[in-house]
Amino acid sequence: MTVNSAAVTARATVYGYPRQGRHRELKQAVEGYWKGRVTADALRTTAAELRRTHWQELADAGIDEVPTGDFSYYDHVLDTSVMVGAIPERHRAAVAADPLDGYFAMARGTQDVAPLEMTKWFDTNYHYLVPELGPDTAFVADSARQVAELTEALALGLTARPVLVGPVSYLLLAKPAPGVADGFDPLTLLDRLLPVYAEILSDLRAAGAEWVQLDEPALVQDRTPAELNAAARAYRDLGARTDRPKLLVASYFDRLGDALPVLAKAPIDGLALDFTEAAAANLDALAAVGGLPGKRLIAGVVNGRNIWVNDLEKSLSVLATLLGLAHQVDVAASCSLLHVPLDAAAERDIAPQIRRWLAFARQKTAEVVTLAKGLAHGTGAITSELSANRADLASRAASPITRDRTVRARTAAVTEADARRSQPYAERAAAQRGHLRLPLLPTTTIGSFPQTGEVRTARADLRAGRIDTAGYEERIEAEIQEVISFQEKAGLDVLVHGEPERNDMVQYFAEQLTGYLATRHGWVQSYGTRYVRPPILAGDISRPEPMTVRWTTYAQSLTERPVKGMLTGPVTMLAWSFVRDDQPPAETARQVALALRDEVADLEAAGTSVIQVDEPALRETLPLRAADHPGYLAWATEAFRLTTGGVRPDTQIHTHMCYAEFGDIVQAIVDLDADVISLEATRSHMQVARELAAHGYPREAGPGVYDIHSPRVPSTAEAADLLRAGLRAIPAERLWVNPDCGLKTRDWPEVRASLTSLVAAARAVRTEL
């Protein structure tokens, strides 16, 4: 399209940027601080250098207004809890004694004090620390960090906009603190919280902020009239103050829906909307309310969550439509760039032509700047950029990587019977009991064991050619021997091989399937200092050869006890990858499911009696609007059943899920038709067990009794208490005993001690029964 916008001014901005640094300097500094190798001052210096580098990169790229406050040592929601003084009672003494150590104690816990609960940030793979609130919560403003970071950016001569989690989303994301009576709604604290936000906004204005962004992503979910009224009251009150900066309320991840007219009427100065996947709905809703006369609109037209190049002409068309709907239209990515890697140019292992299809944070920043330039000065000002973009889009569409006739013929031939076990659960369960002969309250782990320095060194040596494949396999066999030996001595009932050969639960499989691209530097924050490299799902998927049979059968040869085969399920293979956007996800999931079905069949043929297909992303990928749930859950559960539907009745199928809210997908968990499910439950004090019971979940379940995201070692008594709580919801004959999640990120000493406690707890409770 042609845009002639000589009279238009359009600014380029972003809401946030990857925190870790080009070489994950933040991870190294934080973990060094935890281990006592890095001082607090050195950690703060590293953080300041990273912020300065990121702001300068954005400004040099042409971003007119940089974000501040998006940087975090661990999590921005935890930062918000600190900012408003919502420190749980059990952590107050530590925070008072040393704010930095107290901050990390809230995130990770200590041996004596449990951390905050952690769960997924909307439908992403980022995890946030859940605020704990109660009727006695007293909020206190602490704007020091926000003011300091704004001051840093202004000192560089930059135009800066502080970014805060908005008060309504903060309360909607919170949970009642432990011990608070059931039924307490954190949103009832809004009137107590608003004066604290008003004070912080006043401080930021005094420090030089012209605009402050208040993120309200919770408003893109289905909201009750009471919740929408709370949003209206919040922004009426904050907007009415005279000592505030200009207020920009930002939404992302989906359509704003009924909240859009509420915010359009509020006395705020601007609104930021997602115009990528939610473009049509937000455009229609914005037009229906008469636009935003006299206000600023930031249009998120560059997808901040995926890594494909933007269709610049399509985005310019959306922007041109918006020009008549607001006083000022500026350009941004659809959400914080926290969710994508830093720089596609660093991926030298990917062919140059394919690399041109990709846009990481730096490339997305350039796209935002190009679109703002085109909107402000007309398409004539970006002729070369548009021409190159057309060529990149055409190259991808025509590439043979994207279509495999054999794969497509196989998916087209799938029948309903392929996604169904041969016998109902009751008959399978009897066959499995007779075959496996497990005790009451069987114990197991989720899959991975600590990835030691020796394992990582072996993998690096293989890549560098310092050892050959035979030498590498000898090291992996030695690690598996140690893992099996420990589990037998500890008394676990169903063992795992420990996954020493796997770099990541998705990447490991992606590197062995056709259609995937692997990155070398594509790190994305999952939580705290945990970074992952999501593979890129670029084409049709097939499995050239077995992926896990070699190591599972070797582990089984070392023991008489059953060893689980460990696979990552099709939904998680999509959710934790950057998935292709040129076909429906249901089609892609079916392709992945068929590849995994072949692996399941080979494991079973090799003598594996227990096969676990992890789906931690099933809940995470649930659409944010209830109207979109049935369609997603239909293809997601079908993909799991297609993966597992071909096994014998006496082969036990497990699945695993963690760090999400499961109460609203229990029926989908039933529809998976797995024989056993293990779930994270420790930080939520067995909430998921109660939710399964309330729904009448009919199969076996293992709600976790060991929080693996904390360095704490649970005592036998503590694990036994959690197990007893689980028994109040799930009968003993259907209850398993396991950690919350895999043990990859933990160290061996704490794993040995924790699993010893877990097995002792199971034995103690068996005796009671």
Would the pLDDT of 49 be above 70? yes
What are the residues facing 247 on neighbouring strands? Answer: 212
What mean pLDDT is predicted for residues 465-489?
Answer: 95
- Check pLDDT > 60 for residue 741: yes
pLDDT over threshold 70, residue 600: yes
State the average pLDDT for the chain. Answer: 95
Among 228-232, 277-281, 504-508, the range with the most confident prediction by mean pLDDT is 228-232
Return the pLDDT at 182. Answer: 83
User: Is pLDDT at 451 greater than 60 in this prediction?
Assistant: yes
Q: Tens of pLDDT along 6-21?
A: 457 899 999 999 999 9
Q: Beta strand 536-542 with 514-517: parallel, antiparallel or unpaired?
A: antiparallel
- CA 750, CA 449: separation in Å to the nearest integer? 11
pLDDT at 664 over 90: no
Written as six digits, the tokens of 36 are: 């006592």
Q: Is the pLDDT of residue 463 over 90?
A: no
Question: Which is the catalytic residue, given 76, 339, 497, 709?
Answer: 709
Residue 627's pLDDT band (cuts 50, 70, 90): very high
Contact by Cβ (8 Å): 668, 615: no
User: Would you list the DSSP string of 181-230?
Assistant: PTT--GGGGHHHHHHHHHHHHHHHHHTT-SEEEEE-GGGGS---HHHHHH
Task: Enter the pTM of the model.
Answer: 0.91
- In 465-584, alpha helices (H): 469-490, 507-510, 549-556, 570-575
> Residue 626 phi/psi, 5° resolution?
-60, -30
Instruction: Collapse the DSSP code of 526 into the 3-class scheme (helix H, G, I; strand E, B; otherwise coil) and give the result.
Output: strand
Determine the average pLDDT of the residues in 367-380. Answer: 97
**Residue 170, pLDDT score:** 98
- Alpha-carbon dihedral of residues 658, 662, 668, 669, nearest 10 degrees? 50
Predicted local confidence at residue 378, as pLDDT: 95
Query: For 692, how many CA atoms within 13 A lie in the half-sphere containing its CB?
Result: 27
Q: How far apart are CA 328 and CA 349, in angstroms?
A: 42
Nearest to 544 by CA among 511, 568, 588, 572: 511
Residue 2's pLDDT band (boundaries 50, 70, 90)? low
Sort 611 into a burial class: Cβ within 10 Å, 0-12 / 13-18 / 19+: buried
Residue 433, both tokens: 């009991």
Let me know the angle formed at the C-alpha of 419 by 415 and 420, rounded to the nearest 5 degrees: 115
Per-residue tokens: 216: 């309200």
Closest CA to 129 of 169, 92, 75, 185: 75
- Report DSSP state, residue 256: -
Check if the beta carbon of residue 674 is closer than 8 Å to that of residue 644. yes
Return all residues near 478 (Cβ < 8 A) that are at least 6 apart: none
- Residues 393-410 have pLDDT tens digits of 999 999 999 999 999 999
Q: What is the CA radius of gyration of the chain?
A: 26
At how many degrees (to 10) do helices 76-83 and 99-108 cross?
130
Q: What is the mean pLDDT of residues 619-631?
A: 94
In this prediction, residue 4 has a pLDDT band, given cuts at 50, 70 and 90, of low
Q: What is the pLDDT of residues 110-154, one digit of tens each?
A: 989 999 999 999 999 999 999 999 999 999 999 999 999 999 999
* pLDDT mean over 319-329: 96
CB-side exposure of 576: number of CA atoms within 13 Å? 28
- Average pLDDT estimate for 638-645: 98
Query: Mind giving me the DSSP string for 652-682?
Result: EEEEEE-SS--GGGHHHHHHHT-SEEEE--T
Whether 433 contacts 699, CB under 8 Å: no
CA nearest 313: which of 301, 327, 296, 298? 301
What is the pLDDT confidence band of residue 709, given thresholds at 50, 70 and 90? confident
Catalytic site includes residue 656: no
Per-residue pLDDT, averaged over 176-196, amounts to: 95
Question: What's the pLDDT score for residue 3?
Answer: 55
**What are the Cα distances from residue 262, in Å, to 233, 326, 627?**
10, 16, 21
Long-range pairs for 204-209 at CB < 8 Å and ≥24 separation? 204/143, 204/146, 204/147, 204/150, 204/162, 204/245, 205/243, 205/244, 205/245, 207/147, 207/150, 207/151, 207/154, 208/150, 208/151, 208/154, 209/150, 209/160, 209/161, 209/162, 209/245
pLDDT in the model for residue 684 = 83
Lowest average pLDDT, out of 358-367, 499-508, 541-550, 642-651, goes to 499-508
- What pLDDT sits at residue 5? 47
Residue in the block written with tokens 């990515």:
333
Q: How confident is the model at residue 679 (pLDDT cuts 50, 70, 90)?
A: very high
- The secondary structure of the chain in percent helix, strand, coil, rounded to multiples of 5, reads 50, 15, 35
pLDDT of res. 6: 46
Strand partners, 33: none
506, 561 in Cβ contact below 8 A?
no
Can you give the pLDDT at residue 528?
Answer: 96
Give the range among 11-25, 254-268, 679-693 with minimum mean pLDDT: 679-693
Most confident of the following: 652-656, 664-668, 742-746: 652-656
Question: Cα separation of 292 and 304, whole Å?
Answer: 24
- Beta-strand ranges (E) seen in 687-728 are 700-703
543 pLDDT more than 90: yes
Residue 692: left (phi > 0), alpha (psi -120 to 50), or beta?
alpha
| pLDDT greater than 60 at residue 1 | no
Percentage of residues of the chain with pLDDT beyond 90: 93
Token pair, residue 164, equals: 């805060």
| pLDDT for the residue 545 | 97
